[in-house]
Amino acid sequence: MSPEKTSAKQPAGIISLQGVHKSFKGRKVLDNINMDIMPGESHIVIGLSGAGKSVLFKCILGLLRPDRGAILINGEEWFTLPIEEKLQRMSCVGVLFQGAALFDSLPVWENVAFVLRRQGMNKPEARERAAEVLEWVGLPDICDKMPAELSGGMKKRVGMARAICHRPDIIFYDEPLAGLDPVMSDVITTLMKRLHERMNVTSLTIAHSMKLVREFSDRVSMLYEGRIYQQMARHDIDSSHDPVFKQFIEGRADGPIQFTFSGSDHGKEAT
Ligand SMILES: Nc1ncnc2c1ncn2[C@@H]1O[C@H](COP(=O)(O)OP(=O)(O)O)[C@@H](O)[C@H]1O
Ligand SMILES: [Mg+2]
């Protein structure tokens, strides 16, 4: 397929979303999203369950195609590139998927070194690199274990090791604390902070944990009703007077965001 013509503007950010729309069966999930993620920042996108955060994430990663608009990473629209070039570009990116998404049939080290092996690195070297990053995330000596032998928190850390093993410039995290107990949540948050600083990367995180926002973000964007409803520096969060934003960050059921508790399709899910 030949690359399509694009009307994308010169982006300000290392990741730039310009007028992105995405609907499913006529239902708008993303409705004209514009945002720029600046090099080196830690940016967190927050929003209610079902707000479209994972859809946004999949569009950025090129796993879902927006109906309209442009998404540029390092100034390029990946969706328009031939598959080989797209895969090559992907090596500047590390992803921690919700639930870690490890390959069950591969031992830990092969999961971690997956991108390196795909890039052609030989087995002994790739295994050595995997062992090194596993140590970074506090998991020495588990190279030969299988994912089924690991706890949820260990799988998450293996997922982090896989995300960083090929030394990416950008790390994406989708709900990195989902399903973790408070202690493991703190461990993962600390690791995310360390990796962000040590690797000098840009981090884009999808989350609904305000604790993570407070500890890890430089800037935060709230996705609400398909749009970037609010965007601000972390230190401005508590001075916002917006009632929707305040309800979200304070985690209250009462407020302008209406919930249904009856199982009706209307209104927001009470999850
Ligand atoms: N592949 C799909 N087909 C149809 N609807 C989808 C698809 N993916 C997501 N959606 C819908 O888009 C909305 C946003 O989903 P999602 O991005 O997963 O929310 P969240 O903010 O919780 O990550 C939901 O209503 C979901 O049902
Ligand atoms: Mg999600």
Confidence bin at 7 (pLDDT 50/70/90): low
Q: How many CA atoms lie within 13 A of 242 on its CB side?
A: 14
Indicate the number of domains in the chain: 1
CA of 51 to the centre of ligand 2 (A): 8
**69 within a domain of the structure (yes/no):** no
**266 within a domain of the structure (yes/no):** no
User: Atom 27, ligand 1: which residue's CA is nearest?
Assistant: 50
Give, as residue ranges, everything with CB less than 5 Å from ion ligand 2: 53-54
Q: Give whole-number Cα distances, 90 to 77, 94, 155, 170, in Å.
A: 12, 8, 22, 10
DSSP 111: H
Q: What is the DSSP string of 193-211?
A: HHHHHHHT-EEEEE---HH
Going through 38-86 in order, the beta strands assigned E by DSSP cover: 42-46, 68-73
Sort 226 into a burial class: Cβ within 10 Å, 0-12 / 13-18 / 19+: buried
CATH code: domain of residue 135: 3.40.50.300
Per-residue model confidence as pLDDT tens digits over 47-56: 998 999 999 9
**101 within a domain of the structure (yes/no):** yes
Per-residue model confidence as pLDDT tens digits over 104-134: 999 999 999 999 998 899 999 999 999 999 9
**137 within a domain of the structure (yes/no):** yes
**71 within a domain of the structure (yes/no):** no
**163 within a domain of the structure (yes/no):** yes
Q: Which residues are near ligand 1 (CB < 6 Å)?
A: 24, 29, 47, 49-55
**20 within a domain of the structure (yes/no):** no
Per-residue model confidence as pLDDT tens digits over 220-268: 999 999 999 999 999 999 999 999 999 999 888 888 887 766 654 444 5
Structure tokens at 68: 């309209």
CA of 54 to the centre of ligand 2 (A): 4
Structural domain boundaries enclosing 192: 39-50+82-222+231-243
CA distance 38 to 228: 16
Tell me which amino acid residue 61 is.
L
Structure tokens at 204: 């884009």
**17 within a domain of the structure (yes/no):** no
Helices (H) and strands (E) in the chain, counts: 9, 9
Output the pTM of the full model.
0.88
CA distance 97 to 61: 11
